[in-house]
Structure 1
Amino acid sequence: MKKAILIIIAWVASTIEVLAQCAMCKTTIVNNVSHGELSLAEGLNFGIMYLFVTPYLAILVIGLLWYKKSRNHANKNIKSSAIRM
């Protein structure tokens, strides 16, 4: 387990910086920012953050619901076993 974690950390640390925008998007943003128009850049940044955060929120909600359901199920099992004794 420790070896796998070390490999993942080494892999993430060794990656070079990658620009994930297409050439047209980058050119448009740079051109607008150089002319003082920041609204397009702010909108693009908001969209990127929205797409980045949404899957993590979905996973969090599913995890919380799963935890509550399993906890309620465990409490019911404890109560039913206590009644049998």
Structure 2
Amino acid sequence: MRTKDKKGKGKREKGKSLQLVVFTIAYYLLPIASKAQCAMCRAALASEEGGVKAEAINDGIVYLMIIPYILVAAAAYAIYKIKYSKKGD
């Protein structure tokens, strides 16, 4: 049996509408930040002819991309070890 609030909507429906509002706001705000960063990188790379700075920026992007994957993998491994470890060991 669903519980109803004063307006007649269920609590689950109210939570979904809140999620939709938060997602919509985040969707419209994220492209602003990403465009600003791309313009900064493009300006920094356009000023140099050698390409050393471009290679350094690419290495930095790869470094920043790998770190979250390593952290998630370490957390998943720790959870796996805790959940499936034998109680006698």
**Shorter-chain-normalised TM-score: which range?**
0.5 to 0.7
1:47-74 per-position Cα deviation (integer Å, ceiling 9, x unaligned): 023123303321321222212221225x
Higher relative contact order (CA 8 A, sep 6+): 1
CA RMSD between the two structures: 3.1
The percent of aligned pairs where both chains have the same amino acid is 21
The residue that corresponds to 1:82 in the other structure is none
Instruction: Supply the distance in 1 between the matched residues of 2:22 and 2:73 (Cα, whole angstroms).
Output: 23
The one-letter amino acid of 2:78's match is L
Q: How does 1:43-58 map to 2 (within 5 A)?
A: 43-58=56-71
Are 1:13 and 2:13 an aligned pair?
Answer: no
Q: More helix per residue: 1 or 2?
A: 1
The Cα of 1:4 is off from its aligned counterpart by 4.6
Are 1:39 and 2:52 an aligned pair?
Answer: yes
The one-letter amino acid of 2:53's match is L
TM-score by length of 1: 0.54
Identify unmatched segments of 5+ residues in structure 2. 1-14
Q: Aligned residue pairs: how many?
A: 71
Identify unmatched segments of 5+ residues in structure 1. 78-85
TM-score by length of 2: 0.52
The Cα of 1:14 is off from its aligned counterpart by 0.8
